[in-house]
Amino acid sequence: MSENNSVCRMLVIDESPLPLCELIQERVAGVDLATCGSMAELERTLSTHRPEVVLAFKLPGMTPESLAPLLTARSVKWIHNGGAGVEHFPRWDTGRLTVTNASGVLSDVLAEYVMASVLMMNIGFPQYWRQQAAHQWQLNPWQSVHGKNLLIVGLGNIGRRVAARAKAAGMRVTGMRARPMPVDDVDEMISPDRLPAAVAASDFIAVHVPLTTATHRLIDRSVIDAMPPHAVLINASRGAVVDEAALYLALKQRRLKGAVLDVFEHEPLPDDSPLWDLDNVVITPHMADSIDNWQLRMTEQFCANLQRWRAGQPLQNIVDPKRGY
């Protein structure tokens, strides 16, 4: 780790890095900053600046292959990913390199998105939007979410905040995680092997797992087929966690009430995707945590970690490459 009295050479990777650099220089002394605004500049910037520390927000064309020079650069000791998911990173040597992430920074924002989705679909707003477009005055009976069942798949920072909001609304909450343990505001904890049975008893299913080899298509055809016809799926994690083709068929055939989808296997969602034309799906463009100042909030968290680095203290939010989070 860097010593307090030495200059820390640092690289900020982002399309618009200047506001982030200003915040870092305001919060942490003794930082020599360089910037990289495109993947085409990465290798040259690494060679000329030789950074110890890198703050990396996702750029167009950022893939495991294009990031390999960063994760193998001899000068780099610590990379902070300006987001939670690291599926676009190649595997790295934990003996030489530390990778941290921004998990937890925008958990409250994502929880708001999920609860808004629950309430919107429960009341039936999509149907009222269609009726409004048709100038149709028709009342559709509905029931409160109080007492309804919410299954949260993944109980990290976001899942726990969703659970707190759901309990405040009077819902019954079931949580799934790889290693079940008691969690506040969760009535029942299950392991992944009980997922089909859990979705069968759920009114709403909210997905909040990182994309790893273990979670790729975790919500597969068998899980989707187990969902009751009144259920709503909400996915604001990663598109590839859900079998998109199986979900489409279930929605089209009305074997599922609806879905709110913020993430997809291919983004942007292609113009010819049949999901666009389903009237029981609400599509948003991967924006569940895209509040106005999201990058500054994540950089605030990074600055706190950078201060720990400068003081020789342990870093927070260290990612395990074997687990993928």
As annotated, the active-site residues are 238, 267, 286
Annotate 104-121 with b (16+ C-beta within 10 A) or e (fewer).
bbbbebbbbbbbebbebb
β-bridge pairing 8-13 and 53-56: parallel
Q: Checking phi first, is residue 135 left (phi over 0); if not, alpha (psi -120 to 50) or beta?
A: left
Q: Which of 259, 209, 196 is nearest to 238 (CA)?
A: 209
Write out the DSSP string of 263-316: --SSSSPPTT-GGGG-TTEEE--S-TT--TTHHHHHHHHHHHHHHHHHHTPPPS
CA 174 to chain centre: 20
Point out which residues pair with 234 in neighbouring strands: 206, 260
Sheet with 281-283: list strands edge to edge: 188-190, 172-176, 149-153, 204-207, 232-235, 258-261, 281-283
Residue type, 184: D
Distance between CA 174 and CA 165 in Å, rounded? 13
Torsion of Cα atoms, 254 then 258 then 259 then 264, to 10°: 30
Determine contact, residues 235/114, Cβ cutoff 8 Å.
no
Determine contact, residues 167/185, Cβ cutoff 8 Å.
yes
Determine contact, residues 34/11, Cβ cutoff 8 Å.
yes
Q: Which of 142, 113, 140 is nearest to 127 (CA)?
A: 140
Distance between CA 42 and CA 50 in Å, rounded? 11
